[in-house]
A and B are shown apart, each in its own frame.
Chain A
Amino acid sequence: MNPINQQRWQRFSKNKMAMLSLKIFLALTIISLLSEVFFNDKALVVYYKGEMHFPFIQNAIPAKTFGLENESEANYLELQKTFRKKPEDGNWLMMPFIPYHYRSITKIDTEPIDLQLKKTEDFYSKQIKELQIDPNANKEKIYQLKLTRNQALGKLDSQKYHPLPPSLARKHFLGTDSTGRDILAQLSYGYRIAIAFAIILLIINYIIGIAIGCAMGYLGSWYDLLMQRVIEVLSNIPFLYIIIIIAAILRSHGFTMGFWALVGIYVSLGWMGMTWYMRTATLKEKSREYVLAARAAGASDTRIVFKHILPNVVSLLVTFAPFSISGSIIGLTSLDFLGYGLPKDYPSWGSLIKLGTDNIQAPWIITSIVCAMVLVLFLINAVGEGIRQAFDPKKISHFE
C-alpha cells in the first residue's frame, strides 16, 4: 500500500466511532447479502429418508418428494410440523433463523381466536344482562363493564387480522405488515436492494463522472464550455417529473419500471454531481509540474490522465462515496414512498414507510423502518466522516 494511504488508514482506524460504524455496517450488509440464509421460508437442510436436501439453494423441490400430496413446492413450516409429529421416522429439517421470506404471507389461524372471542363476549354479555335485569343496578357499572368488554374483545379481535404486533412466539420479531409479511425480513431484503442500488449507482456515476469531468478539466476549451452548459441544463430538470414521464414512455413500449430502469434513470440525471469535482481537481492537477514533466518525457494524454492525474484525485472520490451512498438510499426510499419507484412487490424501505404511515394504528411498522433507516444512515455518515477526517488535507502534507 502506498505510504500515504497507509497513513490515512491509520488515521481512520484511530477514529473509534468510524471504525465501529464500519464494522456494524459491514456486518449488516453481510447479513442482508445472505438474507436467504437468515430470512427464508425454505428450509436450510431437510433430512428425509436418509437423504439430505438443501432447499434454500436448490431448485424448487416439489412437496411430493417429502411425502406430501402436492405437486407444487413444499411448505417447509408445515413439513416441519409433520416431521415433528412422527419423530420415530428420523426425518428432520432446519429452518432459517426467521422462517419467513420477505414475500411470504403468514396465515392466521382464526378458529381459536373466534372461539375465544365468543367466550369473552358471552362472559360479559351474561354479566351485563344480569345487571340490566336488576332494577337496583348502577348504570355506571354496566357502562364500565361494556367498556372492559370492548377492550377485551378489541384486543382479541386485533389478533385475527394483520398487521400483527411483534411476537417472539410467532417469530415475527418486528411484527407483520397489513398484508401479513414479516417486517424484519422485509427490512433485510429491502436493505439489500437499497445498498445494491446505491453501490451500482455509485460505480456507474463515478465512471461517467470521472470520464466526463476529467475530459472537461483536461481538454478544456469548447468541450468544457459545452459540457458545462449541458450539465447545467440537466441538473435543473425536476427529477420526479422526469421519473414519471420516463416510466410512462417505458410502459408504452412494453417495459415495466424495474430495478435496472430505475438505475438507468437515476444515472441519466445523477452523473453530473461528480463531474464538477473532477473537473476542478483535474484542472488543478493538470497545472502541476509533475504533469509537465511527464509531458516532457513524451507521455500521451491518456497516460497522463490515467497514470498521473487520476491517482492523485482519487482521494476525492473516496471521501465522497459514503455520502453519495446514503444519498442514493434516501433517494430510492423517497421514490418508493411516493409510489414511483420499484415494482410494488419488491421489498423496499420506501413502501414500508408508506405502509407504516397508512397503518399508524400499528406503530411497530413505522417504528421499525424509521429506526432501521436512522441507524443505517448514521453508520454510513459516521464512516464517511471518518474517511473525510483521514483524508483531511490540513492534517497531511505531501512535501516535508
Chain B
Amino acid sequence: MKKYLTVVGFLFFASILTIILLAARKNTFLRETRENISIADIKRPKPFPICDEQWPTDLVWHNGMDQDIFSDPKATKGGTWNTSLTSFPPNFRQVGPDSNSGFRGAMDDNDLGLVDVHPVTQKLIPALAKEWAISKDRTIVYFKIDPDAKWDDGMPVIADDFIFRLKAMRSPGIVAPWYNQYYSTMVSDILKFDKHKIAVKLPSPMADTVLKAAMRPLPYHYYGELREIRKKYPLSRAISYLKRDNKEVPPNILKIKDEYESSVTSAKEGEKTPKEPSVEITVEDVEANWVKNHNWKIQPRTGPYNISSFIKGKEVTFERNKNWWAKDKKYYKNRYNVDQIRYTVIRDTNLAFEKFKLGQLDQFALLLPNYWHSKAKYLDPVDRGYMQKLWFYTQKPEGSSQISFNLDHPRLKDKNLRLGIIYALNIQNMLDTVLYGDYERSETFHEGYGEYSHPTLKARRFNPQKAIEYFNKAGYTKIARDGVRINDKGEILSFKILYAAPFHTQRILALQNEAKKLGLHLELDNFDTTAVFKAMLNKEHEIAWHGWGAGLRPQYRGQFHQSFAHKKQNNNLSNLDDDEVSQMIDEYRFALDTPTRVELAHKIEERLFELAPAVPTYKVPYFRQGLWRWVKYPPFIATPSNDMIMDAYGLFWIDVELQKEIRAKMTKKEIIYDIPPLIKNTRYKGAP
C-alpha cells in the first residue's frame, strides 16, 4: 500500500512539474516558424502556353518614373515594431472561408500589384510592372514585368504567376464565391507573350483602366499545377464558365439549355417557373482540400515583409526580407525600415492603452475623442519627453457616415417632412458636445475623393425656423401634449432611428434632445449589431444611421440606383427611385474620361442634395495617435493617403539608439525637452 502511494504521489508531482515547465516555456514550444526551402529544391510547374497574338508595336508606354519620391533618405534600418491585434486571425489565407479578418490587410500590404498609386499625386507608379500601355480600345492593358521582381523565396515573378492568380481565383477549390464571380466577370483573360510580358484583357472599356487590370500575382511554383475536376453548376453559370474558359459548350448541355428555355417560355403566368437545372462541367481547380491545407501555411510574397513565426492565439511576427528585390528602386528606397513587426493579441483596448503607456507598444490610435481628450489628455511619458502625440490631417477618400430615410415609408415619402427633419437635426451640436468638437461635418456623400468630391455643395445645417416651416408644410401644425408635433390625421411626428453601434447612443441622444424642442421625436432603435445590419439591408428601418466604407472613386450605384429600390438585401437604404439620378449613375459608371466622370459625380451629388433621401453626418479627415519618440518619420510626417504612421507605406523607422537611450532614461525618470509633445499638422486640411 505504502509503495503504491509513493508511486502515485511521485507520478502526481512529476506531472505537475511537467505542466509547470511546459507552461513556462509555452512560447518557445508553441512558436511555429516558417520553413526555409532553398531554390534548388523548388519544383517548377509546367509553364502556361504562350498566346498566339502578336505583341503590338504601336503602344505608348508609361513607366511612372516622373513622380517625386515620398520617403526620407535619412531613414535607418533596424528595430522591432510592436503593435497589437484585437483577435488572432482565424487563418493565414487571404481568400476562402473566414479569411476576411482585420489581419488580412497586414498580409495584403505585402503583396505588390503590377502598378501602385502615388500617395500624394494619386498618379500611377511602377510596382511589379516596369512599364505599361493601354490598347486603343481601352480593353487591353500591356505590362512589362520588372525582371528584377522576385518572390521572397528567391523565385522570379513571371507571367505564369499572374495567370495562376486568375485561374486560382476562378477555381471552386478556394471556396470564395465572390472571388469566383469577380475574376470571371471583371477580367476576361490574361495573355502571356513571354516570361515577362503579359496583357490583361478587360471585358469592356473602363475608367481607371490600368488600375482595373493591375493584378497581384500568386506564386505558381508554390501552389503547384492546377488539376481538372468535374463540378456541378447551375446551367447559366456553367455556360458562362465554359465561355470564359474558351471552351465549346457540349451538345448535351445545349440540349438541356434548350429544354429549360422552352419550359420557361411555355410556363403559364402565375405558375412557378421551373427550377434551373444543374449540369456538370470540367473546370480547373487548385489542389484538393486547398482551404484546409493552407490555413496556416505561409505563402511567398513579393512585398518587403512576410510572416516569419507565430504563436497561435498570441502573436504573429513579420520579418523584413533583407534581399528584397525592390529595396533600391526609386519609389521603394528608404521605405519599410524596421526589421520586425510583431503583432501581439490584446483583446481589451484599455489594456492595450496601458501597455502603450509602458512602452510595450510603439503607437496607439487616439482617434476616439474620449481617448484624445480624456484618457490621453495628459500622459506622463509625454510630459517627460518620451512620447509624442500626433494629429495629422489626411486627404483620402472618407468613409461616408449618413442618416438615410426610408422613402418607402408612407410618411417619409413627403420631401417637406424629410427637409423638416434634416433642418431639425442639430448635428453640429452633437459634434461639439458629445464628440468634443473634433469630428467634422460632412457636406456631401463622398468626401476626400479629390476632384470627384463636390467643391462647393454644403449640407443643410440645423435651422429651427426652416424646420418648423417645413413641418408645417408637411401638415404637422399642432403640438400634442408631450410637445411632439401632430398632423390632422392624428399621426405624431415620431420616427424610429435604427443604428448598430451601442456607443453611438450618446450621439443620437444629443440629436434627439435638440429635435424634441422642435416637436420631432426620434425613437432610438438599437439592437444586436448583426441583426441591425440585416434589418437595414432588408429596409425594415424608418430612419437608418449608418456608414459606408471608402473606395478608390465615389460609388453611387449601390446606394442610389433605382434598380435596387424596393428590393431587399442591397445597399439602397433610402429606396431612392429617381430616373434622373439613375440615368446619371449609369452614365458615370460607363464614362471613360475623368472630366466627364467628375462632372457627373458633382451633378449626382447636387441632385441627391435636392432629393434629400439621406443626409451626410460627419467625417474624420485625420488620424491621431500617440508615438514613442524612438519612432522617427520624414519631415513631412506622412502622406495625405496615410492611415497612420505605421501603414502600408512604411515611411517611418525606429531609431534603435534613441530607443535604448529613452528606455534608460525612463528607469531614471530623466526628462527630455527637445521635441514638442504635440504635433498637429493641417497641411492637408480643408478642400483638396
B384 at the interface (CB under 8 A from A): yes
Interchain nearest-CB distance for B247 vs A (Å)? 44
Asked whether A153 and B378 contact (CB < 8 A) given A105-B509, A344-B505, the answer is: yes
A248 surroundings in chain B (CB, below 8 A) = 527-528, 531, 534
Question: Which of B380, B513, B673 makes the CB contact (< 8 A) with A104?
Answer: B513
A166 at the interface (CB under 8 A from B): no
Are the CB atoms of A252 and B538 closer together than 8 Å? yes
Asked whether A179 and B483 contact (CB < 8 A) given A73-B517, A343-B524, A344-B524, the answer is: no
Are the CB atoms of A256 and B496 closer together than 8 Å? yes
Q: How far is the CA of A91 from the CA of B496 in the complex (A)?
A: 39
Question: Which of A142, A251, A345 makes the CB contact (< 8 A) with B527?
Answer: A251
Question: Which of A180, A340, A354 makes the CB contact (< 8 A) with B433?
Answer: A180
A157 at the interface (CB under 8 A from B): yes
A62 surroundings in chain B (CB, below 8 A) = 479
B479 surroundings in chain A (CB, below 8 A) = 59-60, 62, 72-73
Q: Mark A328-363, 1 if CB is under 8 A from B, else 0.
A: 000000000001100111000000001000100100
Residue of B nearest to A57 (CB): B481
Are the CB atoms of B528 and A244 closer together than 8 Å? yes
Interchain nearest-CB distance for B352 vs A (Å)? 16
Are the CB atoms of A161 and B374 closer together than 8 Å? yes
A158 surroundings in chain B (CB, below 8 A) = 374
Q: How far is the CA of A147 from the CA of B528 in the complex (A)?
A: 44
B482 at the interface (CB under 8 A from A): yes
Are the CB atoms of A72 and B433 closer together than 8 Å? no
A71 surroundings in chain B (CB, below 8 A) = 468
A154 at the interface (CB under 8 A from B): yes
A143 surroundings in chain B (CB, below 8 A) = 383-384, 671
Q: How far is the CA of A254 from the CA of B375 in the complex (A)?
A: 40
A308 at the interface (CB under 8 A from B): no
B461-481 contacts to A, CB under 8 A, are: 464, 468, 479-481
B194 surroundings in chain A (CB, below 8 A) = none
Q: How far is the CA of A143 from the CA of B496 in the complex (A)?
A: 53
Are the CB atoms of A252 and B433 closer together than 8 Å? no
Q: Mark A39-82, 1 if CB is under 8 A from B, else 0.
A: 00000000000000000000110100000001111010000000
Are the CB atoms of A361 and B374 closer together than 8 Å? yes
B519 surroundings in chain A (CB, below 8 A) = 72-73
Are the CB atoms of A252 and B540 closer together than 8 Å? yes
Q: How far is the CA of A142 from the CA of B671 in the complex (A)?
A: 10
Q: Mark B511-551, 1 if CB is under 8 A from A, else 0.
A: 01100111100011111100100110010100000000000
Q: Mark A136-163, 1 if CB is under 8 A from B, else 0.
A: 0001001100110011011001100110
Question: Which of A72, A105, A343 makes the CB contact (< 8 A) with B523?
Answer: A343
B510 at the interface (CB under 8 A from A): yes
Residue of A nearest to B468 (CB): A71
Question: Which of B374, B434, B535 makes the CB contact (< 8 A) with A252?
Answer: B535
B136 at the interface (CB under 8 A from A): no
A247 at the interface (CB under 8 A from B): yes
B250 at the interface (CB under 8 A from A): no
Are the CB atoms of B523 and A345 closer together than 8 Å? yes
Interchain nearest-CB distance for B522 vs A (Å)? 8
A361 surroundings in chain B (CB, below 8 A) = 374-375
Are the CB atoms of A345 and B524 closer together than 8 Å? yes
B523 surroundings in chain A (CB, below 8 A) = 256, 343, 345
A91-107 contacts to B, CB under 8 A, are: 103-105, 107
Interface residues on A, range: 35 or more
A251 surroundings in chain B (CB, below 8 A) = 527, 531, 535, 540
Residue of B nearest to A161 (CB): B436
Are the CB atoms of B671 and A73 closer together than 8 Å? no
Question: Which of B383, B508, B531, B540 makes the CB contact (< 8 A) with A254?
Answer: B540
B374 surroundings in chain A (CB, below 8 A) = 158, 161, 361
B596 surroundings in chain A (CB, below 8 A) = none
Q: Mark B661-674, 1 if CB is under 8 A from A, else 0.
A: 00000000001010
Interface size on B, residues (CB 8 A): 46
B373 at the interface (CB under 8 A from A): yes
Are the CB atoms of B464 and A72 closer together than 8 Å? yes
Question: Which of B481, B505, B506, B531 makes the CB contact (< 8 A) with A244?
Answer: B531
A178 at the interface (CB under 8 A from B): yes
Are the CB atoms of B528 and A179 closer together than 8 Å? no
Interchain nearest-CB distance for B325 vs A (Å)? 49
Interchain nearest-CB distance for B499 vs A (Å)? 9
Q: How far is the CA of A60 from the CA of B518 in the complex (A)?
A: 11
Interchain nearest-CB distance for A144 vs B (Å)? 10
Are the CB atoms of A59 and B480 closer together than 8 Å? yes
B502 at the interface (CB under 8 A from A): yes
B311-347 contacts to A, CB under 8 A, are: none
Q: Mark B532-572, 1 if CB is under 8 A from A, else 0.
A: 00110010100000000000000000000000000000000
A340 surroundings in chain B (CB, below 8 A) = 527-528
Q: How far is the CA of A62 from the CA of B468 in the complex (A)?
A: 13
Asked whether A247 and B540 contact (CB < 8 A) given A72-B519, A143-B383, the answer is: no
B524 surroundings in chain A (CB, below 8 A) = 343-345
Interchain nearest-CB distance for B438 vs A (Å)? 11
Question: Which of A108, A179, A254 makes the CB contact (< 8 A) with B510?
Answer: A179
Q: Mark B91-122, 1 if CB is under 8 A from A, else 0.
A: 00000000000000000000000000000000
Q: Mark A156-181, 1 if CB is under 8 A from B, else 0.
A: 01100110000000000000001111
B531 surroundings in chain A (CB, below 8 A) = 244, 247-248, 251
Q: How far is the CA of A147 from the CA of B370 in the complex (A)?
A: 21
Q: How far is the CA of A62 from the CA of B519 in the complex (A)?
A: 11
B377 at the interface (CB under 8 A from A): yes
Residue of B nearest to A257 (CB): B527
Interchain nearest-CB distance for A254 vs B (Å)? 7
Interchain nearest-CB distance for B460 vs A (Å)? 19
B480 surroundings in chain A (CB, below 8 A) = 59-60
B503 surroundings in chain A (CB, below 8 A) = 358
Are the CB atoms of A146 and B383 closer together than 8 Å? yes
Asked whether A72 and B528 contact (CB < 8 A) given A146-B383, A179-B434, the answer is: no
Residue of B nearest to A342 (CB): B524
B378 surroundings in chain A (CB, below 8 A) = 150-151, 153-154
Residue of B nearest to A140 (CB): B671
A354 surroundings in chain B (CB, below 8 A) = 502
B351-402 contacts to A, CB under 8 A, are: 370, 373-375, 377-378, 380, 383-384
Q: Mark B430-441, 1 if CB is under 8 A from A, else 0.
A: 000110100000
B510 surroundings in chain A (CB, below 8 A) = 105, 179-180
Q: How far is the CA of A75 from the CA of B480 in the complex (A)?
A: 17
Interchain nearest-CB distance for A100 vs B (Å)? 12
A157 surroundings in chain B (CB, below 8 A) = 373, 377
Q: Mark A239-256, 1 if CB is under 8 A from B, else 0.
A: 000001001100110101
Are the CB atoms of B481 and A256 closer together than 8 Å? no
Q: How far is the CA of A132 from the CA of B671 in the complex (A)?
A: 13
Residue of B nearest to A244 (CB): B528
Q: Mark B80-92, 1 if CB is under 8 A from A, else 0.
A: 0000000000000
Asked whether A256 and B528 contact (CB < 8 A) given A72-B517, A150-B383, A162-B433, the answer is: no
Q: Mark A184-216, 1 if CB is under 8 A from B, else 0.
A: 000000000000000000000000000000000
Q: How far is the CA of A75 from the CA of B514 in the complex (A)?
A: 12
Q: How far is the CA of A265 from the CA of B531 in the complex (A)?
A: 18
Q: How far is the CA of A86 from the CA of B293 in the complex (A)?
A: 83
A-B contact pairs, 22 of them (CB 8 A): A59-B479, A62-B479, A72-B479, A105-B433, A108-B433, A132-B673, A139-B671, A142-B671, A147-B383, A154-B377, A157-B373, A178-B506, A179-B434, A180-B510, A247-B528, A247-B531, A248-B528, A252-B540, A256-B523, A339-B528, A343-B523, A345-B524
* Apart from A179-B510, A180-B433, A247-B527: 19 A-B pairs, beta carbons within 8 A: A59-B481, A60-B479, A60-B481, A70-B464, A72-B464, A73-B517, A103-B513, A147-B383, A157-B373, A178-B434, A178-B506, A179-B506, A244-B531, A248-B527, A248-B531, A251-B540, A340-B527, A344-B524, A361-B374
CB-CB nearest 6 A-B residue pairs: A60-B483, A344-B524, A345-B524, A150-B378, A105-B513, A73-B483
